[in-house]
Amino acid sequence: MIRAFCVWLAATPLSVMIGSTRWVVPMVQTLHILAIAVVLSSVLMLELRVLELAGRSQSVMQAARRFLPWLLGGLAVLAMTGALLIVSEPQRSLVNSAFWTKMCLLALAVTATLGLQRAQWRIVASQEQPCPAGVAARAIAVLTFFLWVAIVVAGRWIAYVEHG
């Protein structure tokens, strides 16, 4: 069924247009990489704040207010440019184990950062005496950062895995 969907998608006017214009794919990939820069660096700064390795003049919640909007904006750009790359060559990603690994890791990372960690920070912020992050929160911060790194690795690997 996925293959039939790929064949249909590859025949849509948008896919044909992207495929016939030489500069579209490298340009969309460039935007994708720039958005990765925004997301990865935002996550890095947030996790460094949790680990008290950066931005200690501010609370974790203040750091979250500074970087979460950029993280979300970056993710939106990644979703759009990523969707365009799929449309341009559906088989390359939809019939590709690296792509589906990336999607699973993405779901985990979004849950870890925007669900678990954000909930943690809210609890810390609601306490009267803000205390430094405990061992568990620090471990989650390190793991979450490497989860985002793993997404980038899996993304690059889409290009290397035999597809179709």
Partner 1 sequence: MSSMDSINEFADWLKDTPVATFVQESEWAFQALETVHVLALTLVVGTIAIVDLRLLGLASTDRPVTEIARDCLKWTWGSFAFALLTGGLMFTSNAVKYLGAFPFRMKLLFLLLAGLNMLVFQLITARGIADWDRDRPVPLNGKIAGALSLTLWIGIVTFGRWTGFVINPF
Question: Contact residues for partner 1 (CB under 8 A)?
Answer: 25-27, 29-30, 33-34, 36-42, 44-45, 48, 54-55, 57-58, 66, 70, 149, 152-153, 156-157, 160
Residue written as token pair 């405990």: 134
Tokens of 42: 């935002």
Q: Which helix (H) or strand (E) element contains residue 148?
A: helix 135-157
Q: Which helix (H) or strand (E) element contains residue 163?
A: none
Supply the minimum distance, in Å, between the C-beta of residue 57 and partner 1: 6
Minimum CB distance to partner 1 smaller for 37 or for 116? 37
Tokens of 27: 């340009």
Minimum CB distance to partner 1 smaller for 44 or for 86? 44
Minimum CB distance to partner 1 smaller for 19 or for 55? 55
Q: Determine the Cα–Cα distance for residues 105 and 145; give it in Å rounded to an integer.
A: 12
Tell me which amino acid residue 144 is: T
DSSP labels, 12-67: SHHHHHHHH-TTHHHHHHHHHHHHHHHHHHHHHHHHHHHTTSS-TTS-HHHHHHHH
Supply the minimum distance, in Å, between the C-beta of residue 59 and partner 1: 12
Minimum CB distance to partner 1 smaller for 125 or for 153? 153
Supply the minimum distance, in Å, between the C-beta of residue 85 and partner 1: 12
Minimum CB distance to partner 1 smaller for 7 or for 34? 34
Supply the minimum distance, in Å, between the C-beta of residue 162 and partner 1: 13
Tell me which amino acid residue 132 is: P
Supply the minimum distance, in Å, between the C-beta of residue 161 and partner 1: 10
Tokens of 83: 């969707």
